[in-house]
Amino acid sequence: MNKYTHGDNVTFPLVKIPSNRSLVDFRLANFAPPVPPEYGTFPILRIKIMPKKPFKIPVEWKSFDVIQVSGARPNDVTGSISHLTVEKLAFFDDTNVTGPLFRVGQNFQCMRLDGKNDSLEYFQDMWNVSCAKANNALFEDKNTRLGDDASNVSNVINCTLPTTSSTALHVFCANTKKGRWNCFEERFFKTGVECHSMYVSGKVREETEAEQCT
């Protein structure tokens, strides 16, 4: 793992990958835009942005195994995510991104989305997906899938997501008082595992982390 430290208002660095290596997992925190277009080619991208003006999800970004984008405030990250494809995990809960929702792969596990509005109707309209009310008791067991949100569930719904194939994919989504939706694919839901960007099953990762000191 390589770690970079910088002063204030440093822009995201251009990362040069040796020709005989491949970068699978890429994490950076507290840098300022612009974001080099090469970042959109990393299968696993986790960045925290410190912009002077809102950062829009680039239309050039296409497909990720895992994507996590956040800022110091939700208004720091905006734009549509409808053009993306996410194979496993997605985290846009601390943002003001808009729908329709990205397409998901058949190995999709979970996602976190903004949940300041906890109604089923709002979720359907915002992300252009079909949902039905589910029983809140689904999330009342003692497992760890919601972490410290476990006692704060306000609504639970069951939704069908757009996929990269003709096979439907269903998720259970719980809205919590922390203002986010936690959504779990049905099989992943049964594991009781928390939706976290570090949980990528079946993949050995080489990681690069960069963080700006404040």
Of 42 and 110, the one with more pLDDT: 110
What number is the average pLDDT over the span 137-147?
Answer: 75
Separation of first and last alpha carbons in the chain: 21
pLDDT surpassing 70 at residue 22: no
pLDDT in tens, 75-129: 999 999 999 999 999 999 989 999 999 999 999 999 999 999 999 999 999 999 9
pLDDT in tens, 146-167: 876 666 889 999 999 999 988 8
pLDDT surpassing 70 at residue 205: no
Domain limits at 29? 3-211
The pLDDT value recorded for residue 143 is 60
The domain total for the chain is 1
The pLDDT value recorded for residue 52 is 83
Question: Amino acid identity, residue 210?
Answer: A
- CB neighbours of 160 closer than 8 A, spacing ≥ 6? 129, 130, 131, 168, 169, 170
Res. 145 pLDDT band, cuts 50 70 90: confident
Strands (E), 57-122: 63-71, 77-78, 85-92, 103-104, 110-114
The pLDDT value recorded for residue 144 is 65
What number is the average pLDDT over the span 66-82?
Answer: 94
